[in-house]
Chain A
Amino acid sequence: MIKLRKWMVGAAVLGMSSAMTPAQAKDLTLCWAAWDPANALVELSKDFTTKTGIAMKFEFVPWTSFADRFMNELNSKGKLCDLLIGDSQWIGGAAENGHYVKLNDFFAKEGIKMSDFMPATVTGYSEWPKNTPNYWALPAMGDSVGWAYRKDWFSRPELRAEFKKKYGHDLVPPQTWAEFKQIAEFFQARDIDGKKVYGAYIFTERGSEGITMGVTNVLYPYGFKYEDPKQPYHMQGFVNSAGAVQGLEFYKALYKCCTAPGLTNAYMSEGLDAFKSGQVAMMMNWFAFFPGLYKDPNVGGAKIGFFVNPSEKTRGVQLGGQGISVVSYSERKDDALKYIKWFAQTDVQKKWWSLGGYSCSKAVLQDPNFPKSAPFAADFLKSMEMVQDFWAEPTYATLLLDMQKRIHDYVVADKGTAKEALDLLITDWTKVFKEEGKLK
């Protein structure tokens, strides 16, 4: 019995010591999505390790399970991530529930100024409540939806001539959604080099955020607004305005007329596959993927071009991107803050852009040479001037899933009319805001 007791005590001591040691020996862990810019960040962070001696570890999760995985981690007060590059919509919930460390004092102490970063990215990635000087993240990865197109197809004389004859203007990247649809219809089911190709690739994914991140790029230019600017959370006549209804109908028309068969549940990676395999003329996707696409041996280089989201009644495009935050449950908050201080430096931001990350620093983006630094750089700048984001409320997940359901039901599953879908969306969102006590 004494022997057994000794064993138990020994095991307990061993267990306690092993539970205590990782806090000292553990690497600084940065959590993000598994995609091209994450690889660039791994490369960039080697400089941080060299400079400070702090070893870095990375936890990257595919986009489709990114929110599930890290929201679970935050909600369970997990210690896995010291630094988290979380989605822009998480900022409200993460701030109100104490998941992120508030960075105002740290920024003041270290002389990090938010005025050094592009205003849209500060509002989108750092502030909660919005438009107040309360900062929970440093803008890390600027992003928005943009378009890649087959420049080589657009420049073929026979196609240009045929297009001009049919539509009366040149086959060039579209400025408006009406022009976009003409081009998409022109290429749809066309035989190019013995292969059947399709007009456009748009987001239709149902499970996470795909179709919402796609449809908003049409809704914003058609006049959709989330709420009455004078009466917050009042949505009647804004979410379901005549323009918004028209925009939703347009997205469905685009889905029906000009996309490849089987595009019923597709998001970023399916779009990249479709474009890289030479199936589509124009592809909706995030700017973050464009450096990789430009380097693609089959469709990159001279074969690819980029353009900003078309306008219609007004300009607008969906904001992507993320800020980098310190997780409040981290046992290495000081080291995490050191990383943020290092990352905010201008020379690091310049290198970040050169490696394929999208810096939000004015020093990088307002450099006169920036627009010419990459084929998509000028369009990125234009896009960042017209970005709009989804709700960043603490209940954003519920709001997002409601929109996913209503839009997918209408666009892909042919259920009801555009007006009915947007009316139902208002009903859903009103219920959420009433539960939250933000609407009476």
Chain B
Amino acid sequence: MLPACSFPVASIVNDSSAVTQIARRAALSTPAQIRRGLRGLSDRAITWIFILPTIILLLAINIFPLIWTIYLSFTNFRANRTSRATEWVGLDNYRSVLTDPDIWRSMQVTANFVIWSIGIELVLGFALALLIDKRFRGHSLWTTVILLPMMLSPAVVGTFWTFLFQPQTGLFNYTVAFLSGVDPSSFQMIGDVPLAPWAIVLVDAWMWTPYVMLICLAGLRSIPDSIYEAAEVDRASSWRQFWTVTVPMVLPFLMLAVLFRAIENFKMFDMVNLLTSGGPGSTTEVVSITLKREAFEKWRTGYSSALGIILFVTVFGAANIYVKALNAMKNR
């Protein structure tokens, strides 16, 4: 039962639009005491009341840690040595990060991982999207099956692929051995230096190709049939239709997929950590693993803050340039 109403609602009672109906119900269900309290407030004040909690949360969870990290990056602070005086070291941490060959090596490892995994995911994802878009019999079932890997947690994926890659008992090695005739224990996907980077690319592609496929599928389904019909009237071959209609129209979606996956893979940690821990040696030590080791194992908080800020600026800057390029393309 609605509470007794003392609010001047007469003017809206007879309005029949849906929005007004909702506003009316909200007004009627607001307790009288609160209505009285709100009566003297301006629209601007009410707006602030609504957005203030979100702003406070944002400041507490995102903005403050960011500012604090920027501050720490200029100090020699160590989170495990809080009793020691913190000294301002200026740009020393940034200089150390940028001149550290190990950091550049892990950036290189990360770049290789990002480029190869996204390249493979794009090609396979687009191909799968073209296939699923044909709406063959049972395509809904296959769509669900294809989407399954991306629904799993990266930690679960990392763990079970570790078992699959075991040279002595792993299914992957046995499958390769069955198909190629080589001894299954003669190669180690996550233990051999040349193979380990490919192992993490393979697992990432297995998990995230369906995601790229979904984005491509959305792009394919957004192309009006009339364009293909017009192309057919002009007697364009299927190949020509693909290159002059499908690819240009899906390209913005593909670029969006590249953006999402690049940001995700640049900060990839869990899956790689579970699969190889950055090894063998430092062969698959992506920059997020280096950052974690510096911050939470070596406890070089100032240094790792500088590294974190450099990574943030890199991703943020690259993403902005990319988004501008994407917008320019859409406007053409």
Residues of A within 8 A of B (CB): 1, 67-68, 71-72, 74-75, 93, 96-98, 205-207, 260-265, 394, 397-398, 401, 405, 408-410, 412-415, 435
Residues of A within 8 A of B296 (CB): 68, 72
Contact with A along B263-290 (1 / 0, CB 8 A): 0000000000100111111110000000
Q: Are B82 and A408 in contact (CB under 8 A)?
A: no
Q: Are B278 and A97 in contact (CB under 8 A)?
A: no
Q: Are A75 and B193 in contact (CB under 8 A)?
A: no
Residues of B within 8 A of A405 (CB): 102, 281-282
| Residue of A1, A93, A401, A412 touching B279 (CB-CB under 8 A) | A412
Q: Are B281 and A394 in contact (CB under 8 A)?
A: no
| Residue of B37, B282, B299 touching A397 (CB-CB under 8 A) | B299
Q: Are B297 and A264 in contact (CB under 8 A)?
A: no
Q: Give the CA-CA distance A71 to B297 in the complex, in Å.
A: 9
The interface stretch among B42-50, B184-192, B217-225, B319-327 is: B184-192
Chain B: number of interface residues, binned into ranges:
20 to 34
Smallest distance from the beta carbon of A87 to chain B beta carbons, Å?
Answer: 14
Known: A260-B168, A262-B166, A265-B191. A412 touches B298 (CB 8 A): no
Q: Other CB < 8 Å A-B pairs besides A405-B281, A409-B281, 5 of them?
A: A68-B296, A68-B297, A72-B296, A75-B79, A413-B280
Q: Are B281 and A415 in contact (CB under 8 A)?
A: yes
Q: List 10 A-B contacts (CB under 8 A).
A: A75-B299, A206-B280, A261-B185, A261-B188, A264-B280, A265-B191, A397-B80, A397-B299, A412-B279, A414-B281
Residues of B within 8 A of A409 (CB): 281-282
Interface residue B293 (Cβ < 8 Å from any Cβ of A) = yes
Q: Give the CA-CA distance A97 to B166 in the complex, in Å.
A: 42
Interface residue B167 (Cβ < 8 Å from any Cβ of A) = yes
Residues of A within 8 A of B280 (CB): 206, 264-265, 408, 412-413
Q: Are B276 and A265 in contact (CB under 8 A)?
A: yes
Give me the 10 closest cross-chain CB pairs, A-B, nearest first.
A413-B281, A264-B191, A409-B281, A207-B277, A206-B279, A262-B167, A398-B298, A261-B167, A412-B280, A261-B185
Q: Give the CA-CA distance A264 to B193 in the complex, in Å.
A: 10
Residues of B within 8 A of A264 (CB): 188, 190-191, 279-280
Interface residue B240 (Cβ < 8 Å from any Cβ of A) = no
Q: Are B82 and A97 in contact (CB under 8 A)?
A: yes
Q: Are B81 and A1 in contact (CB under 8 A)?
A: no
Smallest distance from the beta carbon of A144 to chain B beta carbons, Å?
Answer: 24
Chain B residue nearest to A264 (CB atoms) is B191
Q: Give the CA-CA distance A410 to B282 in the complex, in Å.
A: 10
